[in-house]
Amino acid sequence: MEDDKDMCVNLSNLSSILEHPVFPDWMSVEIEIESIYKLSVNNVQCLYHYTSLEGFQSIMQKRDFWISNIRYMNDSHEFENGKTICKEIIEKKLGRAGKDEISQYLYGLLNVCNQKASQGFHVINSKDIFSLSFCNNGDILTQWQFYGNEGIAIGFENSVGSFDAITFMNEDQYDDEIEEMNPDEMLPHDEIRLFPKRIIYRDDEKIEIFESILEMGINFIKKYPGNVDMCIEGISDVLFYYFALMKDEHFEHEHELRFLHYFNKDNRRIHFRKRNGILLPYIKMKILNVDCRPHKVFPIADIVVAPSSQKEYVADSVKYFLEKSGYEYLVDKVRISEIPYRN
């Protein structure tokens, strides 16, 4: 975390983003906040996705990911954790505010925080946020404890040297288009580029981020009186974006890096599967290269098999599967976890 002096400099730069009183660049606020708090994933050449043997088989055969709705994940306070902290900060500020446009702004944001969706141009609905989880370590004990004997960590590499984005296309949409043209002729027009973001666990960091965002709105209102509603709309989008990047401190051991997808268009492309006694909503996303075409060589740098009493046996079966599935070039990438855990 940067010191207070550097933080002030950064936030003053951030305020300059909102120069236009009619069309302030609210999305640039998100980007600048991410830069200040180092939420983007830089200088990482391999990101790991933990899954089961069954999930590994599906990913390799279909070259897709199932991106799940965050409301049905293992953290029961998902999305609400950050929202609760933000509401507490707003309420404290209201206790010190007078009856002016700043109090209108704070009351407006508090009202939006009690809703399911933000109110700005980029409406973010808490019901329709889907997430794909990675981390930058392929051998974490708590992950193996979750997946048991059948856990695998797939390490995806990024040839450009830093993990900027993964290119996806909705698999149902991809299947529709592939019927009409050759994959090599597909044009990049419906692709989705998702960027990994670091999950925020510590409450003190969450408070700093919300204080910064709320203060930017206050400064905007002071500079451009009469634009309270516009400010509420824009700041609400920014707040809801960060609610989806915050989890309870008890999950810090996961070291999660998250790809977020805000889905609010075609409900027919949402699928459901039974898991842990519920119907879990998910979206099938095809993994493509930067040109929006299928990878000729799947960009995997590492495959880690969970520790167990039969880990060598499992690793051998994984290698045989890869060899017989056209992935001979990945056989030497398979290794066994170095953790001495008797699963």
| Ranges 69-78, 156-165, 194-203, 215-224: which has the least confidence | 156-165
142 occurs within a structural domain = yes
- On whether the CB atoms of residues 109 and 214 are closer than 8 A, the answer is yes
102 occurs within a structural domain = yes
22 occurs within a structural domain = no
3 occurs within a structural domain = no
Burial of 293 (0-12, 13-18, 19+ CB in 10 A): middle
Give how many domains the chain has, as a whole number: 1
Of 328, 301, 244, which Cα lies nearest the Cα of 68? 244
212 occurs within a structural domain = yes
- On whether the CB atoms of residues 252 and 204 are closer than 8 A, the answer is no
- On whether the CB atoms of residues 277 and 217 are closer than 8 A, the answer is no
pLDDT top residue among 13 and 141: 141
Residue 295 scores a pLDDT above 90: no
What is the rounded CA–CA span in Å between residue 3 and residue 94? 27
Give the chain's mean pLDDT: 84
pTM value is 0.85
pLDDT top residue among 191 and 239: 239
Q: In which band, very low, low, confident or very high, does the pLDDT at 180 lie, cut at 50, 70 and 90?
A: low
27 occurs within a structural domain = no
Give the residue-averaged pLDDT of 64-73. Answer: 92
172 occurs within a structural domain = yes
16 occurs within a structural domain = no
Question: Whole domain around residue 236: which residue ranges?
Answer: 37-336
Give the residue-averaged pLDDT of 255-271. Answer: 80
